[in-house]
Amino acid sequence: MAAIASPRSAIADCDVDASDLHLVTSPEVEKSEDFFGLDIPIIDSARCTRCGLCRQSCRFDAIDGSINVIEDRCEGCGVCELVCPVGAIVMEKRLDGRIFSSMTRFGPMVHAALKAGGEGSGKLVSMVREWTRKKAMEMKKEFIIVDGPPGIGCPVISSITGADLSVIVTEPTVSGISDMKRILEVTEHFDVRSLCIINKWDLNTKKTKDIESFMDQKGIPIIGKLPYRTDFNRAQILGRTLYEEAEVEVREVLEGIWNRTIVELKGD
Amino acid sequence: MRISVASGKGGTGKTTLAVNMALALSRERDVDLMDFDVEEPDCSNFLGIGTEKVSDVMIDNPVFNRDICTRCGECGRFCRYNAIAVLKDQVMLFPELCNGCGGCAMVCPVGAISYTSRRIGEVRSGQLGALHFHEGVLVPGEAKAVPVIDELMRYAAQDIVIMDSPPGTSCPMMATVRGSDHCILVTEPTPFGLHDLRLAVAAVREIGVEHGIVINRYGSGDSRIEEYAKEEGIEVLLKIPQDMEIARLYSDGIPFVDERPDIAKELVDLYERLEGGSL
């Protein structure tokens, strides 16, 4: 989409724990900052009397039997600091990742890298969107294209809320369809209108028909269908977008997707 | 042995591997197959069995007693998630932001805060021969997967536990992989596959769990995964070829172990090598 929409768009890569867009957009980083997610307790082992009150009080089981913090379980709530009778625990800022503002051949892109097990992915996603919004305004871009994370949890919710449209990519498989229905429940819950793309449509034509009837019933337009082709990986291997490398029929489908998206956006 | 099947990238074939390995093993032995991808649980699509709810997953949200509350604002100041707004005439909770940490009740000087439970998900179970199936399901609209994962973990009971993990490398994946003895990282031979595999390896190394790599859709990209595995000294446990028949069976929710006994045998062998500790 960004390849076609450029120079009218800015890109936000919100798949912060496995961000991949940079691999096909070759960004030049202009600005970057440390991202501090939730705070983390620092336990002074000299002061600690091993009473275990912190471990007992922690609702996330983030303190182990040796009174060490299990970082990827810690939610940074501060209860341990509160209950420690000897003041051995202090909450401190935790470096959870980094956020980047870059330029690509398609325009500005904001992306991020969350450290492994990083908490605060929802917060980082919000920050990526905020930075992108500012950049888009500064550079007078009409559109922000957000690459969303998989799933339906906090980083996804963070990437969806307040969007004008969500484009749901699905595939004609049992898993694809059941996952699509769940993400649709979330977009509906947050009152965001959806469009649909069917990827690998010819892998299972019967299931593609099932998706089409389902979307028809829901009043959700299917804005494009891409075929199942292993040679699509070629573009990725070259560090390019599919649009830049594919043959004419596929380029036309992709252009159709973008044009339809604009029509639906303006229709609001 | 508890085996988690993870990957940095979504869509690489974790569920396919977990389901088929568990089914193949269950022909001879009792196996727990557990679906920890509670945001998008897919294993059940391949088993053709009914499941029933065995547990509700609840988190606590505070309730403010207006008669006792003095509007001092301590609770709002303590809350690190902006879930509490203390206004002139009331205290408001934003439940979707509340983590259930219990801190607000602790800091309230007048005891005006108590807790009520909210349901955020459930655990379901089913049976197929010697396969004991358990899945966690998060309610769409809820943000926190980990409490559902923690509840599901309590159902692991057999000697063999195959754990289908969530994608990514953040807290849901970490919480799942921590509960395992070995983590199989499934990837595909493409730039996105390799990039996300590196992140997954970093995450698993942080937890300190033994791990190996399975390359799915082998032949659909290039050799970068094998080169990376060699550089890092990580064993490539198995290569599953790019294969239209496997893709079609997958699309119909049919596990490939019956149609492809050759791969079924490789999965059983792989498990037995891991269990025997020869890797």
Pair A16, A112: CB distance under 8 Å: yes
DSSP secondary structure string for all residues of A201-223: GGG-HHHHHHHHHHHHHHT--EE
- Using the Cβ of B167 and the Cβ atoms of chain A, whether some distance falls under 8 Å is answered with yes
In degrees, rounded to 5, the angle at the alpha carbon of residue A83 between the alpha carbons of residues A81 and A88 is 50
Are B36 and B84 members of one domain? no
Judged by CB atoms within 8 Å, which residues 26-65 of A form the interface with B?
38-39, 57, 59-61
Q: In chain A, which stretches have pLDDT less than 70?
A: 268
From A79's Cα to the closest Cα of chain B, the distance in A is 5
> Of A77, A119, A172, which has the smallest distance from its Cβ to B251's Cβ?
A172
CATH number at residue B151: 3.40.50.300
Domain boundaries, chain A: 2-37+97-266, 42-92
Locate B129 and state its tokens: 């021969």
Q: Verify whether the Cβ–Cβ distance B252 to A117 is below 8 Å.
A: no
Please check whether residue B117 lies inside any domain of the structure.
Answer: no
Please check whether residue B146 lies inside any domain of the structure.
Answer: yes
Please check whether residue B155 lies inside any domain of the structure.
Answer: yes
How high is the pLDDT of residue B229?
Answer: 97
Are B101 and B222 members of one domain? no
Are B170 and B240 members of one domain? yes
How high is the pLDDT of residue B73?
Answer: 95
Are B52 and B155 members of one domain? yes
Where does A42-92 sit in CATH, by number? 3.30.70.20
Number of domains making up chain B: 2
Helix B191-207, helix B224-232: angle, nearest 10: 20
Are B87 and B192 members of one domain? no
Q: Verify whether the Cβ–Cβ distance B220 to A175 is below 8 Å.
A: no
Question: Measured between beta carbons, which residues in chain B are less than 8 angstroms from residue A172?
Answer: 251
Please check whether residue B211 lies inside any domain of the structure.
Answer: yes
How high is the pLDDT of residue A230?
Answer: 84
> Of A79, A153, A185, which has the smallest distance from its Cβ to B143's Cβ?
A153
Q: In chain B, which stretches have pLDDT less than 50?
A: none
Question: Measured between beta carbons, which residues in chain B are less than 8 angstroms from residue A185?
Answer: 140-141
How high is the pLDDT of residue B126?
Answer: 98
Are B107 and B127 members of one domain? no
Range of the domain at B49: 2-57+123-275
How high is the pLDDT of residue A268?
Answer: 57
How high is the pLDDT of residue B136?
Answer: 98
- Using the Cβ of B124 and the Cβ atoms of chain A, whether some distance falls under 8 Å is answered with no
DSSP structure class, residue A69: B
CA atoms within 13 A on the CB side of A237: 15
Comparing CA positions, the residue from A118, A107, A104, A182 lying closest to residue A150 is A182
CA distance B275 to B182: 9
Please check whether residue B172 lies inside any domain of the structure.
Answer: yes
Q: Verify whether the Cβ–Cβ distance A77 to B46 is below 8 Å.
A: no
Query: Interface pTM (ipTM) of the complex?
Result: 0.88
Are B71 and B166 members of one domain? no
Architecture of the domain delimited by A2-37+97-266: 3-Layer(aba) Sandwich (3.40)
CA distance A173 to B228: 31
- Using the Cβ of B168 and the Cβ atoms of chain A, whether some distance falls under 8 Å is answered with yes
CA distance A4 to B76: 47
Cα separations in angstroms, A51 against A62, A243, A250: 16, 61, 65
A263 by DSSP, 3-state: which?
helix
Are B184 and B243 members of one domain? yes
